[in-house]
Structure 1
Amino acid sequence: MWGIVKEEKVEEEEEHFTPECKFKECVFENYYVTYSSILYRQTQSGRAWYIGINRDGQVMKGNRVKKTKGAAHFLPKLIEVAMYREPSLHDVALQSPPRKTPKTSSDSPVLQNGKKDPKSKTKTSS
């Protein structure tokens, strides 16, 4: 069963999937979803046709529905909800491997731009 746009109205269902059954789904910041037709647009302005349902529950003409109107806003139905507990910093510290302590500067020569520091060179007598 597929929803289709035909003759400026959204039909109930179609047995076969056709280009009229393709819709673009857009999610707004308030989590409402709109569906616009991929195939049909306004002839003059190029604005997309949206699926909309009026107060009586009847399907509205696609060219009369705008994305900002409540008739075009739908709430998605959650299929599965997974709740995860956010780890605290204490849990992360316990699970992390122990850190290696850095070597002191006396153990290794100091590097500047990939070269040994001239101050740290030992004097050699010639």
Structure 2
Amino acid sequence: MAALASSLIRQKRAVKEDPTNRPVVNKRKPCPKSNKSLCQKQILVLISKVRLCGGRKSRNEKRPEPKLKGIVTRLYSQHGYYLQMQPDGTMDSTRDESTQFNLIPVGLRIVAIQGAKTGLYLAMNSEGYVYTSEHFTPECKFKESVFENYYVTYSSMLYRQTQSGRSWYIGINRDGQVMKGNRVKKNKGAAHFLPKVIEVAMYKEPSLHQLAPEPVSPPRKTVKTSDLPSLKNGRKEAPKADAS
């Protein structure tokens, strides 16, 4: 009897120790490292594409152009005339209040004077003549100064008297004629203007163009008067008078 019991115990132990009879446990196999890196690479590529699309969108968006705060105004002379720019670019004066100019600040107390209707810029050439230009050039810059009587003067930033250094001013004489800048004196009424502001406006900053070289002309006889109209940038100035 004891021998039979011991035999049964040995058979049970043999069954337990047999590896073929052990139950199979389902274990998850770890994902190969190569597959993990591939997934990570795909995610990084996707993120980079999203960033690239966002960057392209911002590049395509136009940057806001710089704006300058100026005024729409009438320039009233102390002699009772309004400075006027004709549709063909001719400068003269009028008693009518319909004339308008854009005063655009382009520096510290420096302005560009533009016809509100024509879009042309007021300028002064090396001979002192006032003319109009389609482009904004150094001759279109004027220094704005307040005089003692609270009138305003506009002098050329580019030209002045060689010996005395006296500035050249925009001026209208008693007959309503636009004068040569080198004949206008600072303390005379011809140079004094009263800006009558209509409204405040925002303007695009003018693009500065260089002056075109003047063609060399053959020698000619000196003309007695210096108030003949001259051509500049395709525009003709009105005859000017020298009376202040």
TM-score category of the 2 structures, normalised to the smaller one: 0.5 to 0.7
How high is the TM-score relative to the length of structure 2?
Answer: 0.31
- Other-structure match for 2:81: none
1:64-108 deviation digits (Å, cap 9, x = unpaired): 111100000001112249xxxxxxxxxxxxxxxxxxxxxxxxxxx
- Other-structure match for 1:69: 188
Looking at structure 2, the residues matched to 29 and 45 of structure 1 have their Cα atoms a distance apart, in angstroms, of 22
RMSD: 1.6
SS in 2 for 1:20: helix
Alignment of 1:30-109 (within 5 A): 30-80=149-199
Looking at structure 2, the residues matched to 4 and 45 of structure 1 have their Cα atoms a distance apart, in angstroms, of 22
1:29-77 deviation digits (Å, cap 9, x = unpaired): 4220000100001011111101111122211111111110000000111
Identity %: 80
Q: Is 2:131 aligned against 1:15?
A: no
Looking at structure 2, the residues matched to 35 and 45 of structure 1 have their Cα atoms a distance apart, in angstroms, of 18
Looking at structure 2, the residues matched to 41 and 30 of structure 1 have their Cα atoms a distance apart, in angstroms, of 23
More strand by share: 2
Q: How many residues align?
A: 80
**Greater CA radius of gyration, 1 or 2?**
2
Q: Is 2:158 aligned against 1:25?
A: no
How high is the TM-score relative to the length of structure 1?
Answer: 0.59
Looking at structure 2, the residues matched to 76 and 26 of structure 1 have their Cα atoms a distance apart, in angstroms, of 12
Q: CA deviation at 1:28?
A: 2.1
Runs of 4+ in 1 over 2 A off after TM superposition: none
Where relative contact order (Cα < 8 A, 6+ residues apart) is larger, the structure is: 2
Q: In the alignment, residue 33 of structure 1 is paired with which amino acid?
A: V
Q: In the alignment, residue 153 of structure 2 is paired with which amino acid?
A: T
Looking at structure 2, the residues matched to 75 and 2 of structure 1 have their Cα atoms a distance apart, in angstroms, of 19
SS in 1 for 2:143: strand
Q: Unaligned stretches of 5+ in structure 2? A: 1-119, 201-244
Q: In the alignment, residue 10 of structure 1 is paired with which amino acid?
A: V
Alignment of 1:1-12 (within 5 A): 1-6=120-125, 7-11=127-131
